[in-house]
Structure 1
Amino acid sequence: MDKIILNQYQSYYDISEKKGAVVDFLVGKINYISKTSANLEIYEEFSHLYEEKSNILQKKLQRIISNRINFTIIPTYLCNMNCEYCYEGDLKRIKKIMDIDYAEAIVKLLKEILKDERNKDIEFNILGGEPIMQRNMKFYDYLFKNIQNLSVSYKLNFITNGLEIKKYIKNLKKYGITTCQITLDGSVETHNKRRIPIDTTINSFERVCESIDCLLENNIYTYVRVNIDEQNINDLPELSEVVISKKWNNFKNFHIYLYPISFSGHNPNKIYLEECEILNKVLSIFKSMPQKNRLFGLDFHGISFIDALRGNETPPLKFVFCDACRNQYVFDALGYIYSCWWGAGRDEFKIGEKFGNEYVLDDNRINKWRNRNITTISNCIKCKFKYICGGGCSYKAILRKGDLFKGNCYSFDKIIESYLRYLNDYQ
């Protein structure tokens, strides 16, 4: 009988009858084990050496100060579609939109933030509602003209349903668009059933395909997101054929990925499959597809860590889960600033407010959010997955547990084991 000793930052995965794997989540390493007997004895031992290594890594991560400023702007909650799982829910009823006065206040705040140090990385994310509509163009014209007058470089990402991209591509290029995220949810029938335009004469699937063509032709990095759940998993083979037939996968600035749906603003009581269950169904379908058709990235927790190790790359390590606990400011048309765009419209996420022609930040609330990390969340402190998790989504921690300083945990072991088994059998 074989004996394997694991420390507090390692997990063993039984990936086949003849093969096992030990993944080290602190050092960042996979050791494959050839099994010499049917049974293994797994022992877990606390290692002070690994705890010392963890403390050193943690101090390094704490010293890293993000130079990136993330301004996420929601110019309107209005939308030209009615998607069945839209996370905004009742917010879509709000008719107010951002005007030039908002643009002036945003630029003024950016100047204040840049006053002491101008060599920061600036990133703008524009979303909605639907951000690419005629009613928002005047606001963008003024906003980005004035930002460009600051002579600072920035990245600009639009998150859009894609209905109006062709119509406004010249505007987007003038604003300096860097990347665009657009959603395609399966076959023509499935996509059009899930993502429904207000104008029922529009074929949503065809319009999105035209928009992807337009973005790629204009050399704009295009992320195509497939919001995956039980309804559209079986569409993956057909959707992969669409990508190949349109030759999108030949573009270096194209990436299509699967994102598991876990929440619906329209129906917050709806129960979705666990992430690991969705992944198992996805991988089962992958097994039936030709290798060249398995072109979807997998935005499931822990997958990017394993992919980095397999590619001999430095795995991404997290001290916090996302920009909500760093330098992120989310502006909406009601005049509030939030820490997180999922939390827009909720008081506990507010970190600032517009008064007159300027924004006033609430330093106490900002400090509270900036203090959420793997050292201040009690169930993260001794968790082996903390450096690839960062404490989990703060929005879901508040939604599910009512406490910002509770971790939102994921089934890392189940997800990673399923993925390693798939890689062993089909890669």
Structure 2
Amino acid sequence: MKLSRYNLFFSDHEGDCLIYNGLHNTLVRVDEEVKNFLKEIKLGKECSPPKKVLKTLEKKGIIVPGKINEKKIFKVFHAQEKYNPSKIFFSIIPSFKCNVDCEYCYQKSLRESKNESITPMNGGTINKTMDFIKNMAIDTDCDEIIILWYGGEPLLNTKIIIKILDGLSLWLEESGIKLKNHIWTNGTLLTEKILNKLLKYDIVFQLTLSGPQEIHDSKMHWGEKSTFQRIIKALKLLQSKGAKFLIRVNVDKDNFCYMEKLLEDLKERVGIGLNISFYSILPCVEPFFESCTYDQSCLSVEEKGKIPKLWKLASKKGFSVVFPPLSRRVGCIHGRAYSFVIDPLGDLYKCITEVSYEKRKSYKIGTIGNNGRLKVTDNENFYDWMNSDPLQISPCKDCPFLPVCGGLCFVVQRDYSKISPGYSCPNKTIVYSQVKFQISQRFPQYFQGSTP
């Protein structure tokens, strides 16, 4: 017997040991005696724990037979999720137009370049998009469709969103297929009229803040208007209508120290119990347009290690901190086989960020044909993407956190050979803290009087 390579160890408030296994998404609590058994197993010593204890540890995946290669198990789990057709994903960009000017936006020059993609989807592309989604649903025999509405600012094109949803809803209902939607919006254009039209669909709204008012408004510009106040107004509207929403907070070097003030502002102006998440601004991994000059404000790997302080602070102030699921076999929806990004022209990509690259056309995998089906125009791009394997790159292949995060960003996986040999995983400093925090939220009795 040997210990699983994917065990993570924590101490509870009584000094007992909690062991979380990411491969099987299991949690056990053991006393000092069992902990000593595990130490002996790790050292390769002969030991005879009680049969009941041994059986439980085996069942939970905490200990495994010596000949078992858990990387092969993860590889199978990864492939099962990657090619699972029960859920299919579409990220739809009706237009790249936006009404605000965000300091960290990587799409600015794309919008300023008089590119044809600035024009909203036309009627022909709308119809082909609906046909593509329906055909993919039929071909995969899926149970659920998830659509992410993206931009630009998607609410500039509410009519397009509603036309597509109206065109899909009855057909999906008759086919017994669930439809879920996420809209990533800056929130400044949300009105009661627009919200009432959208609420008949299953939609989660995500609105982004970058600090308290004076900080946020310095990063997200809309003429002389306060974007912060407009977002607060939108949050109150969503709350009053019982809509589902999430507040995403972008964290960087400039605003980290203002996060407590932001949380206090939200409590005072909107209330407690709000769903909130914290994300560090990421540096560019590919040449975007020159207008993206935000790299110098990104948190370093070490600075990201402070983000768990924000989770604890938000939780203490009555917010509900939102994370991805604890166990992820594929780290990003764009890594799934049945996940596509549809741009305003009906061109298809695998990643939402690659649509904004300066040489974006070279990352296109195909387009929607006149028959409403995928027309692959670049087999190499498509198969390079689908052959990405976290077990083939050094930061992931021996990492104990791999089943928790699902591996590095697929863009990094695909292009790893071009990246500096000294590349360090940007998530490693916080994954352990994230697991511990999520366990403490689910099982608070194990952390009474202690700081998770």
User: Above 0.5 in TM-score?
Assistant: yes
- Match of residue 282 from structure 2: 262
TM-score for the superposition, normalised by structure 2: 0.73
Aligned match of 2:76 in 59, 62, 66?
59
Query: 2:347–2:364: 8 Å Cα contact kept in structure 1?
Result: yes
Choose the corresponding residue for 1:234, options 257, 264, 268. 257
1:290 deviates by: 9.1
The alignment partner of 1:344 has SS state of: helix
Q: Tell me what 2:243 maps to.
A: 220
Distance 2:165 2:407 in 1: 34
Q: Choose the corresponding residue for 1:72, options 91, 94, 98.
A: 91
Select the residue among 74, 77, 85 that pairs with 2:104.
85
Task: Write the distance in 2 (CA, Å) between the matches of 1:108 and 1:155.
Answer: 18
Check conservation: 1:184, 1:205, Cα contact below 8 A. Answer: yes
Higher helix share: 2
Q: 1:117 to 1:241 in 2, by over 3 A?
A: same
Distance 2:315 2:370 in 1: 58
1:275/1:67 CA distance change after superposition, 3 Å: farther
Deviation at 1:154, TM superposition (A): 0.7
| Correspondence 1:206 to 2:229 | yes
Distance 1:164 1:366 in 2: 36
* Structure 1 residues 157-205: Cα deviation after superposition (integer angstroms, max 9, x where no partner): 110000111152233235x2511000122211111111111xx242211
* Contact 2:206 2:246 (C-alpha < 8 Å) held by counterparts: yes
After TM superposition, the score normalised by the length of structure 1 is 0.76
Query: CA deviation digits over 1:246-267, x for unaligned, max 9?
Result: 45434xxx41111111236611
Task: Kindly indicate whether the alpha-carbon contact (under 8 Å) linking 1:280 and 1:418 is maintained by their aligned counterparts in 2.
Answer: no
- Give the count of matched residue pairs: 391
Residues 217 and 228, structure 2, Cα contact 8 Å, conserved in 1: yes
**Preserved contact between residue 305 and residue 430 of structure 2 (Cα < 8 Å):** no
Assess if the C-alpha contact under 8 Å between 1:71 and 1:125 holds in 2: yes
The 1:420/1:172 distance shift into structure 2, 3 A limit, reads: closer
Task: Supply the distance in 2 between the matched residues of 1:214 and 1:421 (Cα, whole angstroms).
Answer: 31
Structure 2 residue aligned with 1:350: 364
CA 1:292–1:7 in 2, change beyond 3 Å: closer, same or farther?
Answer: closer
Match of 1:9 among 1, 6, 9: 6
Match of 1:395 among 411, 420, 434: 411
Classify 1:189/1:43 alpha carbon distance in 2 versus 1 (closer, same or farther; 3 Å).
farther
Counterparts of 1:121 and 1:366, CA distance in 2: 23
Alignment of structure 1 residues 320-335 onto 2, 5 Å: 320-335=331-346
| CA–CA distance in structure 2, aligned partners of residues 256 and 357 of structure 1 | 41
* Equivalent residues of 1:124, 1:156 under 8 A apart: yes
2:349 aligned partner: 338
Q: Distance in 2 between matches of 1:381 and 1:219?
A: 44
Residue 273 (structure 1) aligns with: 299
Unaligned 5+ residue runs, structure 2?
Answer: 33-38, 45-62, 441-446
* Cα 1:183–1:379 shift into 2, 3 Å: closer
Structure 1 contact 259–298 (Cα < 8 Å) conserved: no
Which residue type is aligned with residue 104 of structure 1? N
Deviation (angstroms), 1:138: 3.5
1:311 corresponds to: none
Deviations 1:9-32 (A, max 9, x none): 34667999x998766444544768
| Amino acid corresponding to residue 387 of structure 1 in structure 2 | P
Cα RMSD after superposing both structures:
3.9
Residues 247/80 of structure 1: CA separation in 2 closer, same or farther (3 Å cut): closer
Supply the distance in 1 between the matched residues of 2:138 and 2:431 (Cα, whole angstroms): 45
Preserved contact between residue 340 and residue 350 of structure 2 (Cα < 8 Å) = yes
**Counterpart-to-counterpart distance in 1, 2:111 and 2:28:** 46
Instruction: Measure the CA separation in 2 of the matches of 1:143 and 1:80.
Output: 22
Counterpart residue number, 1:309: none
Q: In the superposition, relative to structure 1, how do residues 278 and 386 fare at CA in structure 2: closer, same or farther (>3 Å)? A: closer
Aligned equivalent of 1:312: none
1:104 match? 127
Per the TM alignment, residue 242 of structure 1 is displaced from its structure 2 partner at its CA by 2.4
- Residue 308 of structure 1 corresponds to which residue in structure 2? none
Matches within 5 A, 1:236-251: 236-250=259-273
Match of 1:145, SS state, is helix
Could you say if the C-alpha distance between residues 225 and 236 of structure 1 is closer, same or farther in structure 2, counting changes exceeding 3 Å? same
Q: Pick the aligned partner of 1:295 from 296, 312, 319.
A: 319
What is the alpha-carbon distance in structure 1 between the residues aligned to residue 144 and residue 311 of structure 2?
A: 38
Describe the SS at the equivalent of 2:225: coil
2: distance between equivalents of 1:50 and 1:169? 57
Q: What is the distance in 2 between the residues matched to 1:322 and 1:231?
A: 30
Identity of aligned residues (%): 21
Quote the offset at 1:275 in angstroms.
4.3
Structure 1: gaps of 5 or more residues: 35-40, 306-314
- Gap change, CA 1:393 and 1:30, over 3 Å in 2: farther
Contact 1:159 1:182 in 2 (8 A): yes
Q: 1:44 to 1:217 in 2, by over 3 A?
A: same
Maintained 8 Å contact 1:87/1:263? no
Give the corresponding residue for 1:310: none
